[in-house]
Amino acid sequence: MLVLKFGGTSVGSPQAIRSLVSIVQDAEHSGRVRLVVVSAFSKVTDTLIDMAKKAEAGDRIFTTMVSALKSRHLDTVSALIPSQDQQSVQLYIDEQCAHLEHILNGVAAIGELSPKTLDLVMSFGERLSAFIIAQVFSSSGQKAEYLDARQVVRTDDQFGSARFLPEETYPRIQAYLTTHEALQIATGFIGSTADGKTTTLGRGGSDLSAAIFGAAIGAKEIEIYTDVDGILTSDPKLVPNAFRIESISYQEAMELSHFGAKVLHPPTVRPALEKGIPIRIRNTFNPSCRGTLIANQVPPSTYPVRGISSMRDIALIRIQGSGMVGVAGFSSRLFSCLARKKINIILITQASSEYSICFAVLPKDALQAAAAIKEEFEAEIAHGAIDAPVIEKDLSIVAVVGERMKSTPGIAGKVFHALGRNGINIVAIAQGSSELNISAVISRLDEGKALNAIHDAFFLAGLRTVNLFLVGTGLIGGTLLQQIATQQEVLADEHKIRINLIGVANSKKMRFDLQGIDPAKVQELLEQGEPMNLDEFINRMKHLNLPNSAFCDCTAADQVPERYLEILQSAIPVVTPNKRANSGALAYYHALTGYSRERGIPYLYETTVCAGLPVISTIHDLALSGDRIRRLEAVLSGTLSYIFNNFDGSVPFSALVRQAKEKGYTEPDPRDDLNAMDAARKALILARECGMNIEFDQVHIDPILPPSCLAAPTVDAFFAELEKADSLFEERRQKAAAQGKALRYVAVIEDGKARLSLREEPAQSPFRSLVDADNIVVITSDRYSVLPMVIKGPGAGAQVTAGGVFADIVRIARTLV
């Protein structure tokens, strides 16, 4: 024997009601359903509350609202019931709506809406829907009767959220059904007191009604139909990756529903739990799906947790003071004074020091709770033994639920790492000794971000998603996008890493898409984007508040690096090949690296020096392992490397520079490379990474070019001046060659100083091994003193630089849970 319950969306339209009838009469259910519980039509209860409040305020628009309500139900009758069977239903609707309007006229006359009257007004939704649906069944050929639950469900008189009385309710249901053999279509949500006053079981109480009827008749199963396929691992409106849970224990369901799981009303499972009756959550609009089974004994989850839920809006009240420490009965007084005011406490946490207690309540109860505490502890507060209660609002609770948690070490660590890694501050924590639930109080603004971060950590089978925001789609940024597009599937399939491009911008346009932007189509999509505004780009990235976000700057501009600290402070990692931040003011460099280190928010800039070569990471590793770098020598400019590697006298120096420009090795104005400023910035970054606190103006740069070349007004004029200097360069080359040496422009970092100069290198020098545009870094340290460490390879070029940036983005993914 089954009891079925259909929620508001499941009776929200004629087509939905047809689906309801079809389910009850299909092969799976035919002959097995004893009773169907229905809610009011979708949104009707809200409308009833609204019209009641309008009446209380003296707004006569409630009469128009009653007429609209009547029309909606009559339209449903016309759509579902043959005309010859409609008269009795129409008459019932007329009578009920006239009665409703009469009640509302009374409310308007006295200008007061009591909880008792509001319960009576709200009851009309279920009374209308159940009567109509019973007639729909009868007109379809299946005998069915309307059951007004007020006849059988007895409650106390706590109007608005009445408690049903099982010792009186169960016998009444059993007796009623003994004399009514037809299929019963019962009103959910409502009951009555012993003296016949209409009560409601609280919002969502139709679920409880189904459990009450199921428990009364000893149903084999209770099926609750809604508009989703069952209980999901999290709220799909907030967590797009949420998926259906096959089965769940009563205890787990209670925990999830208490903390906001929308498909189940919190008290629903209690009557079924007491009778050991399974509950199944199913989808009216996808009846082939078996939904989620709630039972005493269910297979263990394949995941360490069963689900993640949240309560969106709570207030936290904190009371503290030395007068609490070691005082017996303090907690009893505290919670007794709240109980007297009928204030429900959602969560409690107390430090072992006994110096403070905090607890969560609904925001509407916060002020009353604080007043009750002040009244109870008036003397203690007056004498300073305890502080006046403090209220914190705009908070949410996130709850991680699962029976396997008690046998799986590291669950709490995984939860808090996921939150901390995403910059989500935890205001309070609670975990019961059963280890079934870990709850954290956080800012309401972080609710969705927290749910997604924790959900990814536990349910995505190791898949780690980085939500990427990229500024700069030029040579390096464009190459990076090509590499991401090419490698996406391999990363996801083989390495369980997903790069989800959420926002992208160039100097003119920007574009955002929460579903992800195809990296292979960025250039054409940007043409349809909105005008680029860096402030707006960063603000939108922050306000989206996505978990596991990362910001990548592939520009060479100054404006973007100026925002790095702000971005890091929003718990968003930064990846960049842009040298401006780390070669700028020393204080800013320390602010960035210090904040990253202290807060654990990655700031990755490997490609600021030597493109994709692992120079900075190697320096970090040496320092971490206790080694000390004594001297660092390097060729840091791919352009200068190419020029001097090929300066063998076969062509004049000026011709070699022209050749480098034609190959794309130099900037449009080669002086931007030959002035060695770029190499100097890289040297400064390396010096700082080695622990030297120096500013850019402390880096000594021996000039390569004569002053006349630097002063030339145009590029053409520069080359004319450079040709005049060819003999000087050739003379210096020949002098070095006569000693078996060659010219190389080398940076030396030693004894707290950094210097760049054109040196004559002997044949055995590692700098003579360079080819084309290679970079090289030679590290002499305590451990590498006899034979220095050499890092050598391509130090420039879009492919290797973008590849290094890509590697840093993947490195961020690896820091995720």
Residue 509 clears pLDDT 60, i.e. is over it: yes
pLDDT at residue number 202: 83
Q: State the alpha helices, DSSP H only, in 405-469.
A: 411-421, 447-459
Cα distance between residue 279 and residue 261, in whole Å: 15
Place of tokens 């200068």: 640
CA contacts within 13 A on the Cβ side of 98: 6
Q: For the segment 538-551, what is each residue's pLDDT rounded down to a tens digit?
A: 999 999 989 889 99
Q: Residue 119: which residues within 8 A CB-CB, separation 6 or more?
A: 159, 160, 162, 190, 197, 198, 199, 200
Residue 564 is predicted with a pLDDT of: 97
Q: Which fold, 616-794?
A: Dihydrodipicolinate Reductase; domain 2 (3.30.360)
pLDDT at 353: 67
| Residue 262 pLDDT > 70 | no
Q: Of the given ranges (298-307, 468-477, 507-516), which has the lowest mean pLDDT? A: 298-307
Helix (H, G, I), strand (E, B) or coil at 732: helix
CA 343 to chain centre: 31
For residue 303, the 8-state DSSP code is S
pLDDT at position 653 over 60: yes
> 496: pLDDT confidence band, cut at 50, 70 and 90?
confident
Q: What proportion of the chain, given as a percentage, has pLDDT over 70?
A: 98
Predicted pLDDT at 817:
54
- Sequence-ordered list of residues with C-beta below 8 angstroms from that of 12, at least 6 positions apart, any chain: 41, 42, 43
Residue 515 carries which side chain, given as an amino acid letter? Q
DSSP 561: G
Evaluate if residue 460 carries a pLDDT over 80.
no
Q: Which helix (H) or strand (E) holds 543?
A: helix 534-544
pLDDT at 258: 73
Q: Taking a C-beta distance cutoff of 8 angstroms, is the pair 330, 277 a contact?
A: no
How far, in Å, CA of 805 to CA of 475, rounded? 13
Mean pLDDT across the stretch 54-60? 94
Q: Which of 414, 369, 327, 45 is nearest to 206 (CA)?
A: 45
Query: If one looks up domain 2-227 in CATH, what number appears?
Result: 3.40.1160.10
Q: What is the CA radius of gyration of the chain?
A: 36
- Residue 748, amino acid: V
Helix pair 14-25, 115-139: axis angle to 10 deg? 60
> What are the strands of the beta sheet with 549-553, ordered from one edge?
530-531, 509-512, 497-505, 464-471, 549-553, 574-575, 603-604
382 membership: H or E segment, kind and range: helix 378-382
Classified as helix, coil or strand, 657 is helix
- Rounded to an integer, the average pLDDT of 736-754 is 96
CB 530 within 8 A of CB 513: no
Spans of all domains in the chain? 2-227, 307-459, 464-611+805-814, 616-794
DSSP 8-state assignment for residue 272 = H
pLDDT in tens, 125-169: 999 999 999 999 999 999 999 999 999 999 999 999 899 999 999
The pair of three-digit structure tokens given for residue 745, joined into one six-digit string: 């422009």
| Helix 115-139, helix 61-80: angle, nearest 10 | 20
Indicate the SS3 state at residue 448: helix
Q: Report d(CA 430, CA 315) in Å as an integer.
A: 15
Homologous superfamily, domain 307-459:
VC0802-like (3.30.2130.10)
**CA–CA dist 447, 345 (Å, integer):** 20
- Residues in contact with 62: Cβ distance below 8 Å, sequence separation at least 6, in sequence order: 51, 52, 54, 55, 101, 104, 108
Number of Cβ atoms within 10 Å of the Cβ of 471: 27
Torsion of CA 454, 455, 461, 462, to 10 degrees: -30
Phi, psi at residue 161, to the nearest 5°? -160, 65
Q: Distance between CA 247 and CA 253 in Å, rounded?
A: 10
DSSP assignment string, 743-808: EEEEEEEETTEEEEEEEEE-TT-GGGG--TTEEEEEEEESSSSSS-EEEEEE--SHHHHHHHHHHH
Q: Band the pLDDT of 461: cuts 50, 70, 90.
A: low
* Residue 595 pLDDT level (bands cut at 50, 70, 90): very high
Q: Give the pTM.
A: 0.76
Residue 389 per-residue DSSP state: P
- d(CA 709, CA 724) in angstroms, rounded, equals 9
Q: How far apart are CA 803 and CA 483, in angstroms?
A: 7
Token pair of 125 as six digits: 């939704």
Q: Residue 816 pLDDT more than 90?
A: no
Contact 789, 635 (CB under 8 A): no
Does 583 have pLDDT greater than 60? Answer: yes
Looking at domain 464-611+805-814, its CATH superfamily turns out to be NAD(P)-binding Rossmann-like Domain (3.40.50.720)
- What's the pLDDT score for residue 629? 95
Model pLDDT, residue 41: 96
Q: What is the pLDDT of residue 430?
A: 86
Coil/strand/helix, residue 435: coil
| Ramachandran area for residue 326 (φ above 0: left; ψ -120 to 50: alpha; else beta) | left
pLDDT over 90 (residue 231): no
DSSP for 316-370 reads EEEEE-GGGTT-TTHHHHHHHHHHHTTPPP-EEEE-TTSSEEEEEE-HHHHHHHH
Instruction: Give me the DSSP letters along 3-60.
Output: EEEE-GGGGSSHHHHHHHHHHHHSTTTTTTEEEEEE-PSTTHHHHHHHHHHHHHTT-T
Q: What is the pLDDT, as a whole number, of residue 213?
A: 96
CA 598 to chain centre: 23
**In this predicted structure, what is the pLDDT of residue 682?**
96
Average of pLDDT values for 70-81? Answer: 96
pLDDT of residue 432 exceeding 80, the answer is no
Q: Which are the contacts of 411, defined by CB distance < 8 A and separation ≥ 6?
A: 304, 305, 400, 405, 438
Q: What is the DSSP letter of 243?
A: -
Q: Please list the active-site residues.
A: 682
* pLDDT at res. 405: 81
Q: Measured in whole angstroms, how far is the alpha carbon of residue 32 from the centre of its chain?
A: 43
pLDDT value at 691 more than 80: yes
